[in-house]
Chain A
């Protein structure tokens, strides 16, 4: 059951990432940057909400895991050469970590007040 939910979440998140990349990626890979940042923010939110095993498998492991992609990011950074590639790597690292921390803090605070 857990495996099925992981696969289902990924079957939603993966195509969403592909659509964003196909639509927004250019010399500057905006689409991949956006899905990696949004997926990391959602991962922080889901971690703060202490989701149950099945919801966690679908939303965190499956959906967020496949919505984001380290391989697409790293290969894009390498293909764009040192200057643009390093700027892209720095912005992706900063934005994804900031949104993950921010998402966790926000959801944690809201859950505490609820």
Chain B
């Protein structure tokens, strides 16, 4: 059986390593994103108040992920897309810290603040994602 010219040669050494590259790119991006989140998060006040820094991190990250296709290089490169999307912004934003902050507020005698924080995060992150998508579509047209 003959292969058409230009087809992937059998035993291509790069073929076996290919599924690993996206994982390494996500690991690298997530490490950087988490470091940024950690550096910013230390400015949140420890008291029973709305964790504004986490809220800003999550809402900002939601806008950025939704708007990512606006960058031409991201649309052209799946590797850059994985590095910045599930990698950098996935590691930057967090559900677990938000959930534990909400639980902490409720158990520290501030259930109203906890409910406000839960609702505000949901509303602002969904709004930010809609805004990001609108922004991306205004630049590149309908997204795939």
Residue from B22, B66, B133 within 8 A of A18 (CB atoms):
B22
Tell whether B53 is near chain A: CB-to-CB under 8 Å. Answer: no
- CB-contacts of A25-58 with B (<8 A): 36, 39-40, 42-44, 47, 57
- Are A75's CB and B97's CB within 8 A? no
Rounded to whole angstroms, the CA-CA distance of A21 and B37 in the bound complex is: 22
Chain A contributes a number of interface residues (CB within 8 A of B) equal to: 51
Residue from A3, A17, A78, A104 within 8 A of B90 (CB atoms):
A17
Rounded to whole angstroms, the CA-CA distance of A69 and B66 in the bound complex is: 13
Q: Which of B5-13, B27-35, B70-78 contacts A (4 or more CB under 8 A)?
A: B27-35
Tell whether B118 is near chain A: CB-to-CB under 8 Å. Answer: yes
Contact with B along A52-79 (1 / 0, CB 8 A): 0000010011101111111111110111
Tell whether A89 is near chain B: CB-to-CB under 8 Å. Answer: yes
- Are A74's CB and B126's CB within 8 A? yes
Chain B contributes a number of interface residues (CB within 8 A of A) equal to: 50
- Are B98's CB and A70's CB within 8 A? yes
- CB-contacts of B54-101 with A (<8 A): 58, 61-62, 64-66, 82, 86-87, 89-100
- Are A7's CB and B99's CB within 8 A? no
Contact residues in A for B104 (Cβ distance below 8 Å)? 47
Contact with A along B17-50 (1 / 0, CB 8 A): 0000011101111111111011001000000000
- Are A89's CB and B122's CB within 8 A? yes
Binding site for A on B (CB under 8 A): 22-24, 26-35, 37-38, 41, 58, 61-62, 64-66, 82, 86-87, 89-100, 102-104, 118, 121-122, 125-126, 128-130, 132-133
Binding site for B on A (CB under 8 A): 2-3, 6-15, 17-19, 21, 36, 39-40, 42-44, 47, 57, 60-62, 64-75, 77-79, 89, 92-93, 96-97, 99-101, 104
